Amino acid sequence: MANHYALITGASQGFGKSMALEFAKRNINLLLVALPNSKLWALSWFIKKNFQVRTLCLELDLSLKDSCYIIDDFIRDNALQIKYLVNNAGILSRGFFEDMDDAFIVRQIKVNVLAPTLLTKLLLDNLKKTSPSAILNVSSMAAFFSLQKKQVYGATKAYLLSFSKSLRKELKKDNISVTTVCPGGLNTTTRLCYQNRILGLLPRKSSLNPEEAAVIAIDAMMKRKNVIIPGLINKFFMLLDKLLPEFVKDILTKREIKKI
Ligand SMILES: NC(=O)c1ccc[n+]([C@@H]2O[C@H](COP(=O)([O-])OP(=O)(O)OC[C@H]3O[C@@H](n4cnc5c(N)ncnc54)[C@H](OP(=O)(O)O)[C@@H]3O)[C@@H](O)[C@H]2O)c1
């Protein structure tokens, strides 16, 4: 068993959990991070029982700055070699800006923006030692659009996309690839499954199960791709975005957002 690890944040459920299982299927050891009292230990136990990989867990709140330093210390203390860094943890939201709680906004920006940036910085030397190595940042299709009710969330994901694309250029010399995955709707939580069902035919058909998206994202990372949008219909949406005038897009997206 190689001593290389994939570090996945937000691995306890949803997309992160699916990616953890996909890495395990590919015989890659795991360091999993999620909030305290999540289902992380149960997942770790399941993986240990069913796959020939080592699995380590850290229960940390990534909205606290110290958490990234604790992860880095843990990696150093245990001499772990991180070959894949997956910045997946994220706080999703929908709602008008004026109705949003200010403490929630700060927390969302810390988890979606600050944590992946700081973690990447702290792990750079480790990733250089294991090169060719890879970073997979989980953004969203919301990064490309200016959507009502998704202003802060969309902006955090646009940050991650921009950060990743620039960093990719810088890290080429170190043989570290940076891939950004921008999913559309994922059927992760019960609430999202329901929301994705009540949308129009195209958005409904475009939402993917996290297991399918995980295979696409990890394949793309292994192939050292730049930006990846999982799903054919989502790629079609991106094309429409380039072709349609802004006012038509506004009408279409307003109609969908109203249903939520
Ligand atoms: N679902 C979608 O439709 C969709 C679409 C596009 C992009 N994405 C992106 O995909 C990623 C995963 O989304 P998901 O739908 O799988 O979300 P999810 O089911 O809510 O899972 C989020 C994960 O992040 C962890 N997390 C949240 N806050 C954290 C914190 N403060 N500290 C540490 N871990 C924290 C959660 O841990 P706990 O289990 O402990 O809460 C959980 O493991 C996110 O970055 C999201 O923006 C999702």
pLDDT in tens, 175-191: 999 999 999 989 987 77
- The domain containing residue 39 runs over which residues? 4-258
The catalytic position among 84, 153, 159, 194 is: 153
* CA-CA-CA-CA torsion sign (176, 30, 229, 89): negative
Taking the CA atoms of residue 221, residue 222, residue 226 and residue 231 in that order, the dihedral angle to the nearest 10 degrees is -60
CB 91 within 8 A of CB 112: yes
For the sheet with 133-138, list strands across it. Answer: 55-59, 29-34, 4-9, 81-87, 133-138, 176-181, 227-228
Task: Give me ligand 1 centre to Cα 243, in Å.
Answer: 31
- Predicted confidence at residue 260, as pLDDT, reads 63
Question: Encoding tokens for residue 258?
Answer: 């109203």
Ligand 1 pocket list (CB less than 6 A):
10-16, 34-35, 38, 61-63, 88-92, 111, 138, 140, 183, 185-186, 188-189, 192
> What is the spatial distance between Cα 46 and Cα 122, in angstroms, rounded to a whole number?
29
Asked if 153 is an active-site residue, the reply is yes
User: Structural domain tally of the chain?
Assistant: 1
> What is the spatial distance between Cα 15 and Cα 222, in angstroms, rounded to a whole number?
17
CATH of the domain at 176: 3.40.50.720
- Predicted confidence at residue 168, as pLDDT, reads 98
The pLDDT of residue 101 is above 90: yes
Residue nearest to atom 34 of ligand 1 (CA): 34
pLDDT band at residue 104 under the 50/70/90 scheme: very high
List of residues 6+ apart from 166 with CB closer than 8 A? none
CB 28 within 8 A of CB 5: yes
pLDDT band at residue 259 under the 50/70/90 scheme: low
